[in-house]
Amino acid sequence: MTSLKEICRGLPLNPLPENRGRRKGIPHAPVRTPNLTAQEKKLALRNALRYFPPEIQKKLVLEFAEELRLYGHIYMYRFFPDIEMRAYPIKDYPCKTKSAAAIMLMIMNNLDPSVAQFPQELVTYGGNGQVFSNWAQFWLVMQYLSEMTEEQTLVMYSGHPLGLFPSHRYAPRLIITNGMVIPNYSTRDEYEKMFALGVTMYGQMTAGSYCYIGPQGIVHGTVLTVLNAGRRYLKAEDLSGKVFVTSGLGGMSGAQAKAAVIAGCVGIIAEVDEAALLKRYKQGWLMEISNNLDHCIARLRDARKNKIALSLGYHGNVVDLWERLVYELDTTGELLVDLGSDQTSCHNPFSGGYYPVQLGFEEAKQLLSTNPGKFRTMVQESLRRHVAAINRLADKGMFFWDYGNAFLLEAQRAGADVEKKGGNKTEFRYPSYVQHIMGDIFSLGFGPFRWVCTSGDPQDLATTDSIAMSVLEDSIRRGVSTSVKQQYHDNIRWIREAGRHSLVVGSQARILYSDQRGRVSIAVAINRAISEGRIKAPVVLSRDHHDVSGTDSPYRETSNIYDGSAFCADMAVQNFVGDAFRGATWVALHNGGGVGWGEVINGGFGLVLDGSTEAEERAKMMLSWDVSNGVARRCWSGNDYAYETICQAMKENVMLKKHLKLLP
């Protein structure tokens, strides 16, 4: 078994590790079909071999060529580390700076098999969200981080460590860009080729920025979404007896079952991949599983009648489930579902993100690798059936929303009936959850604020939970608006529930939604607790890029921007740059995320709190900008909530000045 010290020595070349290929017993990424020419295949091999000295290249070229032929990408399975991949306590990493050790911890957490969707292919979530493009990059990055000082910055080009460059102690220790392709060449087919060549990479939102904390993050977001969907669509604060139907139990989507129970409703979640289903069941995130639709309908009826919170995983295609619900409506007159959505990886529909109802899972995977054109045709037919069933139920009173996974976008491209008559390009027959639910929350300045206790001690996490609750309760006592108070109460409830529901997978992490005041106050309080010894080691702050100002995504995060700028990406780029010079420990800028590569630009950060006065000042400055940037943009686009929020921020800090749009 390899040690952390050995991991930090760089690529293991003498001797070379044994080539064990793809490991059995773990899930693997779908085979990719980049359709490279003979010349492009040679270039992909040349690019992969340049990580290694000439005397070793002859030994590696044939196996790399075989990987490219079999899997459509060179992952370098020979260099898959023989180590228990997890977030080790920060003190265990052989580094010169705490910042570098914290980054190492976050990288290894992203690749932890209990966290990562396809760990051997370096995919954290979303079917194709990469941490790195290949395993050589992992070894080199760990070596660079172990050598880094506080006067160097590591530069990452789409998974490739370009090198350590001189900088200064106030600069970020790490700068990451992923998938940044010139717009005229930013197509899916071009991306697939460039990824196979090893020159670009899709980092999703928090995979390639090393900030994923397991499905807890989306559990929280889904809890808030379902609670607010109940308020908006059902006029209900209590969701007991209400039925929520959706699909996906893989990476991000794996959170839906747990979220349904925390929200108090009946959740029925379809999943075609038995391995993903069983993983969530064994983790305790899913209460029951069944491959029998008769049984699922019977359990749904019972839980609905008796108002029992339930998460039931249906092992099968969600289209079959939706069509069965239509059948029940037609034969009994009973509408059995109140709320519906979808969390398949529909941003990646033709490469394993969505499986057609016409085929079983294994049969579909085989077709994907042998006849991708036919697979694509069947996916689009399945999407049309999928939407037809949803439309039938929605016409009778079920409320459906798009969960920002490009479901309605891809359904539209497939010819499904999702048009909104008179709508603009970002509007469909059903709203996205941002347009109807989360958008107003973003405009209040609320978004996903995360922290990771690098000691690995659950007691440190419990201490931070207590601190966060105290900060929010104190803010309520001091006085906030009604809309802000509702969000604070939801998040206090969330923290209490999080402790009860064992939501930690991988690192000792927590998430809540907070506004600018809350984020800064929580960060300062945690930093002081570190200084006082109440928390034993540094804490890493981050967030999902799915936030107030982190992401420009016209079909998700900025889908409720109606001034014509929804397709502009200034906000995310400014967020990335502004965080960098205001104190972030690392920053990341990605093309792609959420609804897919080429559809989004997003920016994120990591910030290490070590108990120092400097860390407190960095947190105050950077977190304030990280929120206000997006609130100001939303105010300029005409959002009333954002107008109120930015006006309040200007009262609290006279250095903040914002021209306020005069609305007609």
Identify which of 62-76, 185-199, 256-270 has the greatest average pLDDT: 62-76
Residue type present at position 91: K
**Which of the 8 DSSP states describes residue 313?**
E
Which among 217, 22, 20, 258 is positioned nearest to 124, based on CA atoms? 217
pLDDT > 90 in the chain, percent: 73
With the CA atoms of 308, 309, 315 and 320 taken in that order, what torsion angle do they form, in degrees rounded to the nearest 10?
70
Instruction: Give the residue-averaged pLDDT of 561-579.
Output: 94
243-282 pLDDT tens trace: 999 998 876 666 788 889 989 999 999 999 998 899 889 8
Average pLDDT across the chain, whole number: 93
Q: State the angle between helix axes of 570-581 and 613-636 in degrees (0 to 180), rounded to the nearest 10.
A: 160
pLDDT band at 632 (very low <50, low <70, confident <90, very high): very high
pLDDT band at 483 (very low <50, low <70, confident <90, very high): confident
Q: Does the predicted model carry a pTM greater than 0.85?
A: yes
Residue 328 has pLDDT above 80, yes or no: yes
pLDDT band at 434 (very low <50, low <70, confident <90, very high): confident
- Identify the pLDDT of residue 259: 87
- Identify the pLDDT of residue 252: 60
Residue 664 has pLDDT above 60, yes or no: no
- Identify the pLDDT of residue 253: 60
- Identify the pLDDT of residue 251: 62
pLDDT band at 639 (very low <50, low <70, confident <90, very high): confident
Residue type present at position 48: A
Instruction: Give the residue-averaged pLDDT of 371-375.
Output: 94
pLDDT band at 650 (very low <50, low <70, confident <90, very high): confident
Q: Cα 275 from chain centroid?
A: 20
pLDDT band at 597 (very low <50, low <70, confident <90, very high): confident
Pair 77, 67: CB distance under 8 Å: yes
**Which of the 8 DSSP states describes residue 435?**
I
- Count CA atoms within 13 Å of residue 547 on its CB side: 37
pLDDT > 70 in the chain, percent: 99
